[in-house]
A and B are shown apart, each in its own frame.
Chain A
Amino acid sequence: MDLIRLKNVEKKYKNGVTAIYDLNLAIEKGSFTFVIGGSGSGKSTLIKMLYREEKPTRGQIIVGGLDVAKLRNTKVYKLRRKLGIVFQDYRLLPKLTVYENVAFAMEVIGATKEVTRKNVLRALEEVGLKNKVHNYPDQLSGGEQQRVAIARAIVNNPKLLLCDEPTGNLDPERSMEIMKVLDNINKTRGTTIIMATHDKEIVNSMQKQVVTLKDGHLVNFKKKGTYIDENN
């Protein structure tokens, strides 16, 4: 079954730049997908449209049964509760501890203290940070901070995890740790993961399905793929 379906999606920014041209794509539930392509190829734009940060100028986007393009501003939170998002720059709150940062995602949707506690500890265990719950973000390494961000993204048990260059700020070793965490989440929780990256090593070693974009066009969709360098 498809969790995500895009039909004739086009995104033209207000300044006239077209970031995505006529994109058709279906992503199966439980899959792990890389979105690759050169700088400016439209990876982030695609991810942003999936969590309704940007609206497509044309076409239809269905995420978990929600018609994202038609979703009203006041209802966006309903989509956001179905998915988790991880960015290159972690986006943690510096004045909150690791535990509080993850719990924050549950508090603002009105979860009870007990459920919050249970879910937060489980998520932190999954990312291997159970021993750092009381640390503040500036007391953690980049890789650890990113793992907190991942814990926060999965704490509400979303069906979908979107990652935009989650390893962009990390060295190869830390990057592989993050990939292991993500792969584990995909396998044990069955969470569908879509990850934009331009890290060849990662894509080649993970052997997942790959969506390749070039200047806003879909040029390749492989079920088990490696990084295609469109420049050669």
Chain B
Amino acid sequence: MRIIRMLGRSIRDAFKSVIRNFSLSLASISCITITLIIVAIAVMASFNVQNFTKEIEKDLTIVIFLNNESTEDDVARVEQELREIPNIDKSSITFESKQEVKESMQKESEVFDTVLNEWSEDESPLKDTFQVKVKNVEQISSTAERIEKIEQVNTVRYGEGMVDQMITAFSSIEKVTYGVVIALVIVTVFLIINTIKLTISARRREIGIMRLVGASNFTIKTPFIVEGMILGLLGSIVPVIFTTYGYLAFYNHFDGYLFTQLIQLIKPEPFIYSTAGIVIVIGILVGMVGSAGAVRKYLKI
């Protein structure tokens, strides 16, 4: 009951203070707005990157061609060795014998059909093949190298070398984005610290009297922390609008795919709402941390 009354007072005071120091508040709010827009872009980009990395990973297969002369024993042994490689998803291991490959190719086209029929069993370039999927795509090349060392394995192929580069690029893009976001958040926190410091200094006399008459530190601090949270909340309005409508427009403009069919964007709903939620939470947290920092440094209580 008492807490609620005090909180009510804090919120009222905080709004008054935001209005009284309007130009300064506006500076902080703008800074939070810019930061949050970039945070929103980063969040949406990184979720999308994660999403299509996952999509690509799902389809990414290593194809293992055995030597022409491989026997059935060899096949069984290779399969056993494949099972022992930790990065290989055991349930994904599939085998196609020369004969099966031939049949499936023949089914695909008549040209293949005639060509393949002219080769005898021994001259046929077709090989026994395994197909496996990996658990961690970033380690796909080392896994492939390990497979190549298995006896009777002739060649190992996966995603033409492009895919793992793409995935590595994505993950470094993500890291850079996180770096930029963290830097921006820190800058914003400092800006808020300064704003709140100024509002504290404008109310120094009042705070001094509050302390004299026995206000607890909690009572003195709360209005400033609430003020910081309100700055954060006001600063997240534009970014939230930007996030929801911006992503929707972006998604519709590209019909849900970026550049190629390979890169599929996340469906806007409920994605935009969760992103908006993240943006609001970050805004409020940034405001809170900034003002708590200012209060601690400046009031020394």
Chain A residues in contact with chain B, CB under 8 A? Answer: 51, 73-74, 76-81, 84-85, 91, 93, 104-105, 107-110, 152, 156
Contact = CB atoms under 8 A, between A and B. Distances in A.
Interface in B161-218: 205-206, 208-217
Contacts of B301: 73-74
Interface of B: 2, 5-6, 9, 205-206, 208-217, 219-220, 300-301
Contacts of A107: 9
Contacts, number: 52
A80 B217 contact: no
A108 B216 CA distance: 8
B213 A108 contact: yes
B206 to A, nearest CB: 6
A110 B2 contact: yes
A109 B214 contact: yes
Contact of A80 (B2, B214, B300): B214
A85 B210 CA distance: 12
Contacts of A156: 213-214
Contacts of B205: 91, 93
Contacts of A105: 213-214
Q: Quick one: which of B5, B214, B220 has the most chain A CB within 10 A?
A: B214
Given A80-B213, A105-B213, A109-B213, 12 more contacts: A73-B300, A74-B301, A91-B205, A91-B208, A91-B209, A104-B210, A108-B210, A108-B213, A108-B215, A109-B219, A110-B5, A152-B213
Majority secondary structure of chain B interface residues (helix, strand, loop or mixed): helix
Contact of B214 (A73, A74, A77, A91): A77
Contacts of A78: 214
A74 B220 CA distance: 11
A104 B211 contact: no
Contact of A93 (B2, B6, B206, B300): B206
